[in-house]
Amino acid sequence: MESWGKACTALSRRDLTLRSASLLLDATRSSQPPCSLESLRGAATSIVSVAGAHPPHFYSQEQLVEAFLAFWKGRHFNLARLEALHRAVSVGGRHLALPIEDYPSLAGFGAANDAFIRVGTDVGAESLSLALRQAGLAPGDVDAIFFASVTGVATPSIDARLVNRLGLRSDIKRIPMFGLGCVAGAAGIARAHDYLLAWPQHVAVLVSVELCSLTLQREDFSIANLISSGLFGDGSATVVVAGAERALTLVPRGPRVLATRSRFYPDTEEVMGWDIGDGGFKIVLASSVPDVVNRWLGDDVDAFLGELGLDRRQIGSWVCHPGGPKVLDAFEEVLGLCADDLALTRKSLREVGNMSSSSVLFVLRDTIEQRRPAPGTLGMILAMGPGFCSELVLVQW
């Protein structure tokens, strides 16, 4: 009888997995509303907790501007333009991976990348440990770890170092993701959701580590580099996500993930990314990013929601990546949002800057802790990044 009971349990889990996968395929392929929200809720994964961590070195934007002016004095022909660009990005201060006085002594890409591995492992361990404590879980409870970064390289990747540092299980599934940039926070949640549809009894974590300050090109006086030197900051964020079965044993602090949508825009590779050379990561950042938002994002959101029998008027919470003031203006315009909808996003940009993939996760954390929507509210987590691409995640609070 015991064997029969175990077999029935296994079959039940298999049936839930198959139903979840079927719902996902239907929701993403059909041009008609494929299923009710109630059906999606039955397979929903749950965001159990979100935590963030920063290196301890924080500097106001005024301090950083002064440091740049001193370093580039006599080398840049228009220091007033540099100062104006730094003030235009609406950032009030940022955390740096290293003390500010240590940056001039970084001798090339190798030294900067060594610092990325060392500091990245530290802040990644801090954010993951905090997220697990908030979730009431131990390192041994984690079945899969998704790791996102675009500001350094490591083999083995940082997630492997976290396995050793924190005592994660030796059979943990590791999924390191590199190259997605700013979109990886939302995309990482979506890929963890996909995984948990197949393994509803599992726990997955997304760990994002971005140390943007270590990518600074000190000999590059392009507008893109000057803007990035004033916009990007450093940090790590972790999201704990549980499958439908596992979530029943936990007390999730965040919303449930109902559905996701990925969107790639052809022939836009030059909009955002890196040119990688002997000096490391050289920023590619076109002025056309807001134009891409205006051209595509509204229709993409409407199509995604329409396939689920929804429209934008039913979305009561927006968790958006703080790409920069012009990008946020474009979000508001094309999605018909008011200033209050992106208040936490702009606040995050002002307080800690754009931390690439980590930023939208910090906004999600702040939404949970500071402005949690009413139960039942539908929400959207969205980000855009290199590709050029977007990731949409429909949630319910």
Instruction: Name the catalytic one among 8, 35, 182, 320.
Output: 182
Q: What is the mean pLDDT of the chain?
A: 89
CB neighbour burial string for 341-375, b if at least 16 within 10 angstroms, e if fewer: bbebbbebbbbbbbbbbbbbbbbbbbbbeeeebee
Angle between helix axes 223-231 and 61-72 (nearest 10 degrees) is 140
Least confident span in 14-28, 131-145, 334-348? 14-28
Q: What is the pLDDT of residues 201-227, one digit of tens each?
A: 999 999 999 999 999 887 787 888 888
Higher pLDDT, 278 or 8: 278
pLDDT at 28: 44
Report the pLDDT value the prediction gives residue 32, as an integer from 0 to 100: 42
Q: What is the mean pLDDT of residues 361-366?
A: 98
69 or 131, greater pLDDT:
131
> Tens digit of pLDDT for each residue in 44-77?
999 999 999 999 999 999 999 998 888 777 665 5
Q: How far apart are CA 38 and CA 43, in angstroms?
A: 9
Q: What was the pLDDT predicted at 5? A: 46
Of 260, 237, 240, 143, which Cα lies nearest the Cα of 191? 260
Instruction: State residue 174 phi and psi, 5-degree precision.
Output: -110, 130
Output 36 or 337, whichever has higher pLDDT. 337
Number of H helices, E strands in the chain: 14, 13
Which range has the worst mean pLDDT, 29-33, 248-252, 342-346? 29-33
User: Which ranges of 30-74 would DSSP assign to H, the alpha helix?
Assistant: 37-43, 61-72
Would you state the pLDDT for residue 290? 86
Ordered structural domains, the chain, with CATH: 49-247 (3.40.47.10), 256-396 (3.40.47.10)
Q: In this structure, what token pair is assigned to residue 250?
A: 């936990």
Nearest to 379 by CA among 307, 317, 329: 317
pLDDT class of 9 with cuts at 50, 70, 90:
very low
Question: Quick one: average pLDDT of 28-44?
Answer: 62
Strands, E assignment, the chain: 45-53, 57-60, 93-96, 144-149, 173-178, 203-211, 234-242, 256-264, 272-277, 280-285, 315-320, 378-385, 389-396
Q: Is the pLDDT of residue 243 over 50?
A: yes
- Does the active-site annotation cover 212? no
* pLDDT greater at residue 291 or residue 172: 172
